[in-house]
Amino acid sequence: MNKKRTITLGVFIVATLGVVLSRFYLNVQNEHWDEKRVAVEKAYQSTMMTKASKVDFFYGDEAFQIVYGENKLGQNLVAWVSDKDVHTEMTDEAFTEDQVRAEVSKKDASTEIERVMPGKLGNDYVWEVFYKTKNDRGTRYFYDYYTFKEGKFLDTYRLSLQ
């Protein structure tokens, strides 16, 4: 009888802990999900976007939610959504992520690309490429910026050695 009681108590504690942790996770994530939902709604209202597939967050001089989607004709587009503005570009008319990756790899074949995403640098809508290179002195991280439409190189930001 005592063993059965111990097992029941253990199951109860594990179940309670599971419920508490899942509620905590949902509360923490709700704000993040709300920001994504609001960004998608803004993109629908301010652009030709009718279907959203993904939302990323870009933090530069100004914070943007990057909404990927398509219009009613099935053409892909990207919307930069901020508190002040919504800007959109058709991806068929732009430099692609694969082309940007190839440009960065041309500079140094040992480059490990961590992330490529649309963003904004100054007044230019860009592709931001975050990558690292390793050498004898350590690992160094970089941000490269290419114009979104033409893929023209704009700038490189070097982070300190690690």
Q: Give the pLDDT confidence of 31-89 residue by residue, as tens digits.
A: 767 788 888 899 899 898 999 999 999 998 889 999 999 999 999 999 999 988 899 99
Choose among 46, 41, 43, 102: nearest CA to 78.
Answer: 43
pTM of the model: 0.77
Does 122 lie in the same domain as 83? no
Q: Last residue of a domain, which of 90, 116, 141?
A: 90
Q: Last residue of a domain, which of 52, 71, 90?
A: 90
65: its two tokens: 């939610």
* Domains in the chain, number: 2
At residue 153, what are phi and psi to the nearest 5 degrees? -65, 135
3-state secondary structure of 153: strand
Does 39 lie in the same domain as 7? yes
Tell me which residue range forms the domain holding 103: 97-158
pLDDT in tens, 93-134: 899 999 999 999 888 878 899 999 999 999 999 999 999 988
Is residue 88 within 8 Å of residue 79, measured between CB atoms? yes
